[in-house]
Structure 1
């Protein structure tokens, strides 16, 4: 068995493995996934590599609403007049 980390989404054993997911597969299948760029080998001797990558945090929302310095008024569009013949 070979332990891999997915580099891009992979459909494996009935589920989709997203980026960064660690999974095991047969050696031949693992070598094929690495060759095609879908996965990378994980060193089982180094447990630090087995951690799942962190998800970036969302930007914080301001606590006080900000108001524009000058109020803006909606622009009025004049309707085109049609000539009746």
Structure 2
């Protein structure tokens, strides 16, 4: 479903991918923030981690965690 956005299977395994209501592709921490915004009681997480000052750090931390998780899954032979 995401190949129309240029996302390969390996890309999807490395980072969360989703599309928003307008059809725009969201990747990584931006997906988590969008989910928090849409989940009752979790909007505060979106406000904290998605604010313009913290967002670069949020994306950096997410990307490092995703890299570690991807490497762990590869090492375990899951893909």
Q: Fold match, TM over 0.5? A: no
Higher share of residues assigned strand: 1
TM-score (norm 1): 0.30
Highest CA radius of gyration, 1 or 2?
Answer: 1
